Amino acid sequence: EHVANQIAAGEVVERPASVVKELVENAIDAGATKIDVWTEEGGLSSIRVTDNGSGIDPEDCETAFYRHATSKISGGRDLFQITSLGFRGEALPSIASVSKVELVTACGEDGAGQRLVIEGGTLKVNEEAPASRGTDFRVRELFYNTPARLKYMKTIQTELGHISDYMYRMALSHPEIAFTLKHNGNSLLQTLGGGDLLQVIAAVYGTTSAKAMIPLEGESLDFAVSGFVSLPDFTRSNRSAITTVVNGRYIRSHVLNQAIMKAYHTLLPVGRHPLVVLRLAMHPSLVDVNVHPAKLEVRFSKEAELTAFVEETIRAALSHEVL
């Protein structure tokens, strides 16, 4: 069982950013509206994620660290209907097998919670502890017992880069959630929640960028699009910053990126790139999110209609602004 967890850990926990990803996605699945992430030394010495979500029932705390002990999928349920981010029940046992974990969680507002300490997959403490509703998860000394894995870690700056990239993506795709990210005590991200996407754009890209954004709004029979696009004369000189979100989930799509770039075609000065946050809503049957295990790549069943619609909506917004 322990060996199985460490093997699974190799797949789930590639680097500190993978731990942040799994913990943040659990917090989102738990319905959190506030998620705070603290990291030290690129996440290698410490990662702490707190949320105000549902918490874990004291009786379920220990089993949450067993393999495939997910609470999110019941037998026979169609995998394609899954709306939660995690459903395999592999993250917690994997993380706990390669680090020192401390979990404090509570389901209610009566102050009664549970505290667990697990080191290298071994349960050390499981006791009642005072806690407010939600979950406080600390992961210390990641890979301390798998030196081969530790050796593959890059610089603190590189590992932090992966963490902040991920947090920016989550903030942009979840403007309804208040996120903070701190590294060695320094604040790298603070969003306010409440659905203010422009505030998130300001928090991620700076207020100057946010001021140069124009809102996007459009609807067809099958699709609804919203978000923000940068004015053609206010574009970035470095790599393009396109965020695409489908039904509330961050995704990567080559065809959508192409459609966006086509909309800017001829308007963009040479060597400049747009800043775009595109949110799409469509019936779940029109998008297959399980093409890729990391659930970032998707396939659209009405791809041609969708890309034409996106291109047209952005083109209209831009030309309106230019005229």
Residues that bind ligand ADP (CB under 6 A): 22, 26-27, 30, 51, 53-56, 64, 69-72, 86-92, 135
The 10 Å Cβ neighbour count of residue 266 is: 6
**First-to-final CA distance of the chain:** 65
Question: Are 158 and 79 within 8 A, CB to CB?
Answer: no
Indicate the pairing of strand 178-183 with strand 186-190: antiparallel
Contacted entry of ligand ADP, Mg ion, none for residue 56, CB cut-off 5 to 8 Å set by kind: ligand ADP
Q: Which does 120 bind (CB under 5 to 8 A by kind): ligand ADP, Mg ion, none?
A: none
Binding part of the chain for Mg ion, among 45-53, 90-98, 99-107, 167-175 by CB under 5 A, reads 90-98
Residue 200: other Cβ atoms inside 10 A = 30
Q: How far is the CB of 312 from ligand ADP (least distance, A)?
A: 38
Least gap, CB of 91 to ligand ADP (angstroms)? 3
- CB of 244 vs ligand ADP, minimal distance in Å: 24
* Cα–Cα distance measured from residue 159 to residue 161, given in angstroms and rounded to the nearest whole number: 5
Q: Give yes or no for a contact between 101 and 116, defined as CB atoms under 8 angstroms apart.
A: yes
Among Mg ion, ligand ADP, none, partner that 70 touches (CB below 5 to 8 angstroms by kind): ligand ADP
Q: Which residue is nearest to ligand ADP (CB)?
A: 86
Q: Which of residues 21-50 bind Mg ion (CB under 5 A)?
A: 26
By CB under 5 A, residue 91 contacts Mg ion: yes
Selection from Mg ion, ligand ADP, none that 16 binds (CB < 5 to 8 A by kind) is none
Characterize 45-82 residue by residue with b for buried, 16 or more Cβ atoms within 10 angstroms of its Cβ, and e for exposed: bbbbbbbbbbbbebeebbebbebeebbebeeeeeeeeb
71 binds, among ligand ADP, Mg ion, none (CB under 5 to 8 A by kind): ligand ADP
Smallest separation (angstroms) from Mg ion to the CB of 241: 28
Which lies closer to ligand ADP via its Cβ, residue 82 or residue 214? 82
Length of the chain: 323
Show Cβ contacts of residue 281 under 8 Å, excluding neighbours closer than 6 positions: 223, 224, 225, 226, 246, 247
Sorted by sequence, the CB contacts under 8 Å of residue 81 that are 6+ apart come out as 284
- The reply to whether 86 sits near Mg ion by the rule CB under 5 A is yes
Q: Which stretch binds Mg ion (CB under 5 A): 3-11, 19-27, 128-136, 173-181?
A: 19-27
Binding site for Mg ion (CB under 5 A): 26, 86, 91
